[in-house]
Structure 1
């Protein structure tokens, strides 16, 4: 029987780092802003679940050495950077296109909701194509939270990491899809979408050029 109490200090240290990182504004929060304002609370929370799942995939990948392999293979990391930058540029194009639209978007109640899997996949894709997230998980795993533990310890740590990530991004989703924020969006839709597009384009540029 595994004694999980011996791993709790390492879990707490790793989760503290994850809490700060997941709460900080970045590409994921920018995505949740766009989804929350345009689609509402449910889709934003679904995207948050996708982000959290992508984070756990990277977590497990670094534990089992995939992240370390990517960080050491320059061509592989460059490929991930290119994919991530292209995806962010695609998000920027969508935001700029909405900003350029003259007519205001239809009310959320009259819009046919997109399938939940699309929002989940958008969050997941954003997370797993972010090389900085790979490096981040390598740093977290250097804490050694699961060192010496078996599959049960790794599974417990991954589940806890999913919860922390989802709660942090879910809090952003709830805030950014709230009625006051959406009302402000209705008044300043084009400026907000244009700013979102600029942020996504900037993130893409930094991702492509950062070494």
Structure 2
């Protein structure tokens, strides 16, 4: 069924195909899928949904696909995935997600699954990349901050650090800025935080915790 310019599929199109092992739906124009479209495909091992226009997926769409080993979702318009979308895919080995707009992966995705993109696991609110930073005394570095899910209103993140560390969220503005602003449209666009460490008189490595407080 690939390369057919399909824009939609009936919910019951695969009813009665319980022995089906491979399903090729790639290179179509699918923008959404019915929640129960794959119900009953208990023998399905390979599912190709890449190169479509999918912008979201129902949370339970893959329920019951206990034999699924390979899942291609690359080359779509996905910006987020439901946290439990991969629950029940106990046989999943390979997952392709490249060329979407994802900034993080569901925390419930098993670490044993081979994913072809390097993305952090989604947190409750923020996605920090990298999640930790090592600086030499007197040195500098940076990391990015984005929201893990789309907010319903604007969100302001205020940053703070302990003694010996300077933060700046806007290198183009004089002085050190310590806030980041996210809206319902730019929530998944990573914003850069510059970090500088001060030089002190001892030779002991210090550990500093950076705090991120959300309001809005």
TM-score by length of 2: 0.20
TM-score by length of 1: 0.20
Higher relative contact order (CA 8 A, sep 6+): 1
Would you tell me which structure has more strand in proportion to its own residues?
2
Would you tell me which structure has more helix in proportion to its own residues?
1
